[in-house]
Structure 1
């Protein structure tokens, strides 16, 4: 017997799969310049930028029941379940008139990845991977001076290790499927964007062929 939740899920899954959106995962360590380049891609190629972290923060701010649960989990140092993040991404994709999306900072690990494909029935077009050395990312984050409390050397190294342990396997999985477009993110912003543009132009040319 189907519950209301099942019916809602079925409706959500049906419409998102029918929408056939183009999804590109954007991955890279802390300080690799993902945010800057996502803004450039939005401006030049008309994608909608979805950040898993921003969606979770917005949900918390909304004061909804879901938001309170997310906030409590984060406070307790627990990881928010994949399903919660995926539902927020799904809702954002459905409610947006666009059909091209950059999903930034997600999937964070293999479990996220498998759950996203299972729930949404969507495979990413490709993964844009900003490859940058730990030294360079460290230098950038320490030089940001935005007063972010997570920009101290110890925290930066922890975040970098989490990225290596959790997110790199996702990159390797998609690499084995020929879906990774690696960008040398250590170069100046303009040069990095030239490389990014080449990737998107190649994709558009392939689609037009």
Structure 2
């Protein structure tokens, strides 16, 4: 494990430069809760950069780098990619972006991710956007969208939902205790959900740092 982490650290130029003040919003919600759609709307209306931990890992694997090969081997062996590896990829994406406000989607996946992110980057999220959606509604959406994803069958959906509940709810509880969770009723139509989301982001976009 050390070698994977070391390679990722070497790859990502250390910690964030102190002069870069960034705003980070974590976006969490179960599979089919509509996170992707709403993130796209936030990017369009408020100028955030959308970072998906899963996309960054896939891009690193595709790049063929030494780090990407190690990540691919870990996934093949059914091992969990260490938090530090994902965090360094997120950190590098933040550093290389010309932006100073970010949506981090689908991360932290668990309490260990959360603690490691804050410790490594020194960044505490502005808030956590939690798309709350019933299991029945998420199942219905995932089965009806039929985007050719082989993981969208009923058993896999239920497993993914169970993993989300077990892993991510402790993160939501932690940030809730800090007054940082903004819970959105994601069962409503897309336009209504975005009206609620807009109300949360408008004060941030008006804020002068």
Band of TM-score, shorter chain = over 0.9
Query: Deviation of residue 147 (structure 1)?
Result: 1.1
Which residue number corresponds to residue 34 of structure 2?
Answer: 33
Q: Check the 8 A contact 2:137/2:187 in 1, yes or no.
A: yes
Contact 2:46–2:205, Cα closer than 8 Å, also in 1: no
1:177 aligned partner = 178
CA, structure 1 residues 107+22, in 2 after alignment: closer, same or farther (shift >3 Å)? same
Equivalent residue, structure 2, for 1:12 = 14
Q: CA deviation at 1:136?
A: 0.2
The 2-side partners of 1:65 and 1:47 are apart by 30
**CA drift at 1:204:** 3.7
Aligned residues: 203
Matches within 5 A, 1:184-203: 184-203=185-204
SS in structure 2 at match of 1:13? coil
Aligned partner of 1:122 in structure 2 is 123
CA apart distance, 1:10? 10
Relative to the length of structure 1, the TM-score reads 0.92
Counterpart of 1:67 in structure 2 is 68
> What SS does the aligned partner of 1:160 have?
helix
2:159 aligned with 1:158, yes or no? yes
CA distance in 1 between counterparts of 2:113 and 2:90 reads: 12
Q: Deviations over 1:5-58 (max 9, x none)?
A: 8x969963151x431210000000000000000000000000000000000000
2:75 is aligned with 1:82? no
Q: Deviation per CA, 1:95-114, whole angstroms, max 9, x where unpaired?
A: 00000000000000000000
Structure 1 residue matching 2:51: 3-state secondary structure: strand
Can you give the 5+ residue segments of structure 2 that lack an aligned partner in the other structure? Answer: 1-5
Match of 1:146 in 2: 147
Change (3 A) 1:64 1:133: same
Matches of 1:10 and 1:29 in 2, distance apart? 29
Alpha-carbon RMSD: 1.9
CA contact (8 A) 2:62 2:68 kept: yes
Normalising by structure 2, we get a TM-score of: 0.92
Query: CA 1:197–1:92 in 2, change beyond 3 Å: closer, same or farther?
Result: same
Residue 208 of structure 1, CA deviation:
4.8
